[in-house]
Amino acid sequence: MSEIDIPEDHPRYQSLLTRHRIEAGVENGITSKQGLIAEGRGEAFDYLLGEQTIDSAAAAERAAAAALLLANHPVISVNGNVAALVPAEVVALATAVDADIEINLFNRTDERMTAIAEHLRKHGATNVKGLTANARIPGLSHERAKVDADGIGTADVVVVPLEDGDRAEALASMGKTEIVIDLNPLSRSARAAAIPIVDNILRAIPAITDAAREFEGASKDELAAIVNEFDAEDALADAEAAIRSGDRS
């Protein structure tokens, strides 16, 4: 099934599209088989959320846009699932907030790094980081700790979507402001984040980009007020309540 064969008015359009992109990602050597499991887990949470952006996630997306615009050196971390699902959307966000894009893999192989870099370039990325790997995140084993010194190594704000908990916690301990996109409000990644976004990445990345464009011309004080208004614990509690209540309205 190609992407265009899925009718857009199908009630499960987004879910089918997601599955299709992840499957294609595995076939093209971009996504690991583990990525299929991560996708299934995310889909279950999204189903319980009504496959929609809840209000607290929309607020988190606006706070994320403001934090990215305020950052000195923002970086968007990309793994195999992110590259398969939202390559063009990541490039659009990076352009809107002037961020670097860095490939960062749990199961790092040269082949996957190259395939993802190529895939991102095909979608408009001009400068893809992560291949140099000349710095380390302290507290992690060698392969999982690799980052670029002029990328995540020196970033002040990092977007880490669909990240494993260990690495999210290690990055937070380095003092970086973390924006985590994860449909599981109980995951360690979401809990390590300064700004956790409990939303599907397919909706979250474009929403952050839209907010960033809307904030163009806002003062630093106005942006800082948006970031400060956001409360991570409240947002996680709200998402958990929405999932547990099962009210998909």
**Binding footprint of ligand ATP on the chain (CB under 6 A):** 38-39, 41-42, 45, 85, 162, 164-165, 181-184, 187-189, 200-201
Closer Cβ to ligand ATP, 68 or 201, answer by number: 201
CB of 231 to ligand ATP, least distance (A): 20
CB of 25 to ligand ATP, least distance (A): 12
Tokens of residue 133, six digits: 């790997």
Amino acid present at 104: N
Closer Cβ to ligand ATP, 201 or 226, answer by number: 201
CB of 221 to ligand ATP, least distance (A): 31
Mark 131-147 as b/e (b = at least 16 C-beta within 10 Å). Answer: eebeeebeebeeebebb
Q: Which residue is nearest to ligand ATP (CB)?
A: 42
Closer Cβ to ligand ATP, 200 or 209, answer by number: 200
CA angle, 85 then 91 then 96, to 5°:
130
CB of 106 to ligand ATP, least distance (A): 7
CB of 183 to ligand ATP, least distance (A): 4
Closer Cβ to ligand ATP, 156 or 164, answer by number: 164
Closer Cβ to ligand ATP, 41 or 136, answer by number: 41
Return d(Cα 179, Cα 166) in angstroms, integer: 15
What's the burial of 52, exposed, middle or buried (CB within 10 Å: 0-12/13-18/19+)?
middle
Q: Where does 131-226 show beta strands of DSSP type E? A: 135-136, 146-147, 157-161, 177-181, 195-197
